[in-house]
Amino acid sequence: MSNNIKQLKKVLALTLCVGALPFVNNARIYAGDKVGLTYGVSQTVQAAYIWRGYYAGGPNTQIDANIGYGGAYVDMWWSLGATDIHCRAFQPEVDITVGFKRWGLNIFALYIHNFNCGFFDFRNYADKGNRLELDVKYTISDKIPLTFTWATRVSAADGYINKDGKLVMAYSSYAEISYLQQLQGGFSMYYAFGITPFRSCYTNYEKDFALQNIEVRLRKDWDIHERVGLMAFGQIAVNPCSHLNLINLNTGIGFYLK
Protein backbone atom coordinates (compact mmCIF):
# COMPACT_ATOMS: atom_id res chain seq x y z
CA MET A 1 0.00 0.00 0.00
CA SER A 2 2.80 2.40 0.89
CA ASN A 3 4.37 1.96 -2.56
CA ASN A 4 1.03 2.73 -4.20
CA ILE A 5 0.69 5.90 -2.12
CA LYS A 6 4.20 6.99 -3.12
CA GLN A 7 3.42 6.42 -6.78
CA LEU A 8 0.15 8.34 -6.43
CA LYS A 9 1.99 11.28 -4.87
CA LYS A 10 4.43 11.31 -7.79
CA VAL A 11 1.59 11.29 -10.31
CA LEU A 12 -0.20 14.13 -8.52
CA ALA A 13 2.97 16.19 -8.15
CA LEU A 14 3.90 15.85 -11.80
CA THR A 15 0.34 16.56 -12.85
CA LEU A 16 0.44 19.82 -10.91
CA CYS A 17 3.78 20.69 -12.51
CA VAL A 18 2.45 20.05 -16.01
CA GLY A 19 -0.75 21.93 -15.23
CA ALA A 20 1.20 24.94 -13.94
CA LEU A 21 3.47 25.22 -16.95
CA PRO A 22 0.82 26.57 -19.34
CA PHE A 23 -0.10 29.31 -16.85
CA VAL A 24 3.55 30.28 -16.40
CA ASN A 25 3.92 30.19 -20.15
CA ASN A 26 0.86 32.41 -20.71
CA ALA A 27 2.24 35.00 -18.31
CA ARG A 28 5.33 35.30 -20.50
CA ILE A 29 3.72 35.20 -23.93
CA TYR A 30 3.49 38.96 -24.40
CA ALA A 31 7.03 39.44 -23.07
CA GLY A 32 8.43 36.82 -25.43
CA ASP A 33 9.16 39.14 -28.34
CA LYS A 34 10.90 41.65 -26.08
CA VAL A 35 13.24 39.37 -24.16
CA GLY A 36 13.82 36.66 -26.78
CA LEU A 37 11.79 33.92 -25.15
CA THR A 38 10.23 31.06 -27.10
CA TYR A 39 7.27 29.10 -25.81
CA GLY A 40 4.79 26.43 -26.70
CA VAL A 41 1.85 24.63 -25.11
CA SER A 42 -0.35 21.94 -26.62
CA GLN A 43 -2.78 19.22 -25.63
CA THR A 44 -3.90 16.28 -27.75
CA VAL A 45 -6.49 13.53 -27.31
CA GLN A 46 -5.89 10.53 -29.54
CA ALA A 47 -7.02 6.98 -30.15
CA ALA A 48 -3.59 5.38 -29.70
CA TYR A 49 -0.06 6.12 -28.57
CA ILE A 50 2.29 5.35 -31.46
CA TRP A 51 5.98 6.17 -31.12
CA ARG A 52 8.54 5.53 -33.85
CA GLY A 53 6.12 3.06 -35.43
CA TYR A 54 5.76 1.17 -32.16
CA TYR A 55 2.35 0.67 -30.55
CA ALA A 56 2.94 2.05 -27.05
CA GLY A 57 -0.64 2.27 -25.74
CA GLY A 58 -4.33 2.82 -26.33
CA PRO A 59 -6.53 5.94 -25.98
CA ASN A 60 -4.69 8.76 -24.21
CA THR A 61 -4.31 12.46 -23.65
CA GLN A 62 -0.94 14.17 -24.03
CA ILE A 63 0.18 17.61 -22.85
CA ASP A 64 3.35 19.39 -23.90
CA ALA A 65 4.82 22.65 -22.58
CA ASN A 66 8.19 24.20 -23.39
CA ILE A 67 10.09 27.38 -22.88
CA GLY A 68 13.40 28.51 -24.33
CA TYR A 69 15.85 31.36 -24.74
CA GLY A 70 18.59 31.91 -27.31
CA GLY A 71 18.26 28.42 -28.72
CA ALA A 72 18.37 26.62 -25.35
CA TYR A 73 15.08 25.11 -24.24
CA VAL A 74 13.35 22.85 -21.73
CA ASP A 75 10.33 20.75 -22.64
CA MET A 76 7.99 18.74 -20.43
CA TRP A 77 5.67 16.20 -22.05
CA TRP A 78 3.03 14.26 -20.19
CA SER A 79 0.88 11.29 -21.27
CA LEU A 80 -1.92 9.54 -19.43
CA GLY A 81 -3.71 6.73 -21.18
CA ALA A 82 -4.56 3.06 -21.45
CA THR A 83 -1.97 0.37 -22.10
CA ASP A 84 -4.11 -1.07 -24.90
CA ILE A 85 -7.34 -0.55 -26.81
CA HIS A 86 -9.33 -2.51 -24.21
CA CYS A 87 -8.35 -0.04 -21.44
CA ARG A 88 -7.60 -2.84 -18.97
CA ALA A 89 -4.80 -0.82 -17.33
CA PHE A 90 -3.45 2.72 -17.40
CA GLN A 91 0.12 3.92 -17.69
CA PRO A 92 1.29 7.50 -17.00
CA GLU A 93 4.47 8.78 -18.59
CA VAL A 94 6.44 11.99 -18.30
CA ASP A 95 9.30 13.03 -20.59
CA ILE A 96 11.72 15.86 -19.85
CA THR A 97 13.85 17.27 -22.65
CA VAL A 98 16.78 19.67 -22.34
CA GLY A 99 18.35 20.84 -25.56
CA PHE A 100 19.74 23.47 -27.88
CA LYS A 101 18.64 24.24 -31.44
CA ARG A 102 20.05 26.67 -33.96
CA TRP A 103 20.58 26.76 -37.75
CA GLY A 104 18.44 23.66 -38.27
CA LEU A 105 20.40 21.58 -35.75
CA ASN A 106 18.67 20.29 -32.62
CA ILE A 107 20.73 18.48 -29.96
CA PHE A 108 18.97 17.29 -26.82
CA ALA A 109 18.83 14.82 -23.94
CA LEU A 110 15.51 13.03 -23.44
CA TYR A 111 14.54 11.53 -20.08
CA ILE A 112 11.54 9.13 -20.12
CA HIS A 113 9.84 8.05 -16.89
CA ASN A 114 7.10 5.39 -16.81
CA PHE A 115 6.52 5.19 -13.04
CA ASN A 116 7.60 1.55 -12.73
CA CYS A 117 10.68 2.47 -10.68
CA GLY A 118 12.20 5.43 -8.83
CA PHE A 119 12.09 8.75 -10.68
CA PHE A 120 15.87 9.14 -11.06
CA ASP A 121 16.74 5.45 -10.97
CA PHE A 122 19.29 4.96 -13.75
CA ARG A 123 20.14 1.33 -13.08
CA ASN A 124 19.98 -0.96 -16.08
CA TYR A 125 17.03 -3.33 -16.28
CA ALA A 126 15.93 -5.99 -18.73
CA ASP A 127 12.21 -5.38 -18.27
CA LYS A 128 11.55 -1.98 -16.65
CA GLY A 129 13.07 1.33 -15.67
CA ASN A 130 13.65 4.87 -16.82
CA ARG A 131 15.16 5.69 -20.17
CA LEU A 132 17.73 8.32 -21.02
CA GLU A 133 18.74 9.00 -24.61
CA LEU A 134 20.75 11.52 -26.57
CA ASP A 135 19.23 12.77 -29.82
CA VAL A 136 20.48 14.78 -32.78
CA LYS A 137 18.15 16.23 -35.42
CA TYR A 138 19.01 18.26 -38.47
CA THR A 139 16.50 19.97 -40.78
CA ILE A 140 17.89 21.30 -44.05
CA SER A 141 15.74 24.44 -44.20
CA ASP A 142 12.18 25.80 -44.14
CA LYS A 143 12.05 25.49 -47.92
CA ILE A 144 13.42 21.94 -47.79
CA PRO A 145 11.94 20.51 -44.55
CA LEU A 146 13.84 17.23 -44.75
CA THR A 147 14.92 16.09 -41.28
CA PHE A 148 17.53 13.53 -40.26
CA THR A 149 17.33 12.06 -36.75
CA TRP A 150 19.64 9.87 -34.68
CA ALA A 151 18.70 8.74 -31.14
CA THR A 152 20.73 6.50 -28.80
CA ARG A 153 19.88 5.30 -25.30
CA VAL A 154 22.80 5.90 -22.97
CA SER A 155 21.52 4.75 -19.60
CA ALA A 156 18.86 2.87 -17.65
CA ALA A 157 16.20 0.62 -19.20
CA ASP A 158 18.03 -0.85 -22.16
CA GLY A 159 19.34 -4.26 -21.17
CA TYR A 160 19.18 -7.82 -22.46
CA ILE A 161 20.57 -11.13 -21.24
CA ASN A 162 23.40 -12.45 -23.43
CA LYS A 163 24.45 -16.06 -23.99
CA ASP A 164 26.57 -15.98 -20.83
CA GLY A 165 23.57 -14.97 -18.72
CA LYS A 166 24.84 -11.43 -18.17
CA LEU A 167 22.84 -8.24 -18.46
CA VAL A 168 24.25 -6.21 -21.36
CA MET A 169 23.68 -2.54 -22.17
CA ALA A 170 22.40 -2.39 -25.75
CA TYR A 171 22.71 1.34 -26.49
CA SER A 172 19.58 0.99 -28.59
CA SER A 173 19.59 3.40 -31.51
CA TYR A 174 17.06 4.69 -34.00
CA ALA A 175 17.71 6.58 -37.23
CA GLU A 176 15.01 8.34 -39.20
CA ILE A 177 14.47 10.45 -42.31
CA SER A 178 11.29 12.54 -42.30
CA TYR A 179 9.68 15.17 -44.47
CA LEU A 180 6.94 17.70 -43.69
CA GLN A 181 4.94 18.85 -46.72
CA GLN A 182 2.76 21.93 -46.38
CA LEU A 183 -0.40 21.79 -48.49
CA GLN A 184 -3.15 24.29 -49.22
CA GLY A 185 -6.10 24.94 -46.90
CA GLY A 186 -4.19 24.34 -43.67
CA PHE A 187 -3.36 20.73 -44.55
CA SER A 188 0.06 19.12 -44.17
CA MET A 189 1.52 15.68 -44.80
CA TYR A 190 4.27 14.11 -42.71
CA TYR A 191 6.33 11.17 -43.98
CA ALA A 192 8.86 9.18 -41.96
CA PHE A 193 11.15 6.23 -42.59
CA GLY A 194 13.07 4.77 -39.65
CA ILE A 195 15.51 1.94 -38.95
CA THR A 196 17.30 0.45 -35.97
CA PRO A 197 20.90 -0.23 -37.06
CA PHE A 198 21.83 -2.95 -34.55
CA ARG A 199 20.35 -5.10 -31.75
CA SER A 200 18.00 -2.89 -29.79
CA CYS A 201 14.84 -2.55 -27.73
CA TYR A 202 12.90 -1.77 -30.92
CA THR A 203 13.22 -5.42 -32.05
CA ASN A 204 13.06 -6.84 -28.52
CA TYR A 205 16.85 -7.36 -28.81
CA GLU A 206 16.34 -10.12 -31.39
CA LYS A 207 17.73 -8.58 -34.61
CA ASP A 208 20.94 -6.76 -35.51
CA PHE A 209 19.32 -4.54 -38.15
CA ALA A 210 15.68 -3.86 -38.92
CA LEU A 211 13.31 -1.55 -40.71
CA GLN A 212 11.41 -0.04 -37.80
CA ASN A 213 8.96 2.53 -39.08
CA ILE A 214 7.17 3.69 -42.23
CA GLU A 215 4.72 6.44 -41.32
CA VAL A 216 2.34 8.82 -43.08
CA ARG A 217 0.31 11.45 -41.19
CA LEU A 218 -2.26 13.89 -42.58
CA ARG A 219 -2.97 16.95 -40.45
CA LYS A 220 -5.41 19.85 -40.68
CA ASP A 221 -4.96 23.14 -38.77
CA TRP A 222 -7.49 25.87 -37.96
CA ASP A 223 -6.88 29.34 -36.52
CA ILE A 224 -9.18 29.71 -33.50
CA HIS A 225 -7.56 32.88 -32.20
CA GLU A 226 -4.53 35.01 -32.95
CA ARG A 227 -2.50 32.86 -30.55
CA VAL A 228 -4.51 29.63 -30.47
CA GLY A 229 -4.75 26.89 -33.09
CA LEU A 230 -6.78 23.71 -33.40
CA MET A 231 -5.60 20.62 -35.24
CA ALA A 232 -6.81 17.15 -36.18
CA PHE A 233 -4.82 14.32 -37.71
CA GLY A 234 -4.98 10.80 -39.09
CA GLN A 235 -1.97 8.51 -39.02
CA ILE A 236 -0.87 5.16 -40.37
CA ALA A 237 2.38 3.56 -39.24
CA VAL A 238 3.83 0.27 -40.44
CA ASN A 239 6.17 -1.49 -38.03
CA PRO A 240 7.78 -4.50 -39.76
CA CYS A 241 9.57 -5.43 -36.51
CA SER A 242 6.32 -6.22 -34.70
CA HIS A 243 4.59 -9.58 -34.94
CA LEU A 244 1.42 -8.31 -33.25
CA ASN A 245 0.95 -4.73 -34.46
CA LEU A 246 2.31 -4.65 -37.98
CA ILE A 247 -0.02 -1.82 -39.04
CA ASN A 248 -1.01 0.86 -36.52
CA LEU A 249 -3.78 3.38 -37.15
CA ASN A 250 -4.34 6.52 -35.13
CA THR A 251 -6.42 9.67 -35.11
CA GLY A 252 -6.59 12.63 -32.74
CA ILE A 253 -7.51 16.23 -32.11
CA GLY A 254 -5.78 18.92 -30.09
CA PHE A 255 -5.07 22.60 -29.53
CA TYR A 256 -1.89 24.62 -29.19
CA LEU A 257 -0.64 28.13 -28.44
CA LYS A 258 1.19 29.89 -31.26
**Residue 3 pLDDT:** 55
Number of folded domains in the chain? 1
Q: Which of 191, 188, 196 is closest to 178 using CA atoms?
A: 191
Contact (Cβ atoms closer than 8 angstroms) between residue 178 and residue 151: no
CA-to-CA dists, residue 163 to 126, 168, 169, 175, 192, angstroms: 14, 10, 14, 27, 35
What pLDDT score was predicted for residue 19?
A: 52
Q: 190: domain range?
A: 2-257
What is the reported pTM? 0.82
**Residue 28: predicted pLDDT:** 47
pLDDT of residue 27: 45
Q: Tell me what pLDDT residue 118 has.
A: 79
- Please report, for the domain that includes residue 87, its CATH number: 2.40.160.40
Q: What is the mean pLDDT of each run of 10 residues along the chain (258 residues)?
A: 52 52 48 66 95 90 94 94 85 94 95 84 76 95 95 87 87 96 96 95 88 96 92 95 84 93
User: What's the rounded Cα separation, in Å, for the pair 84 and 99?
Assistant: 31
**Rounded CA separation 80/53 (Å):** 19
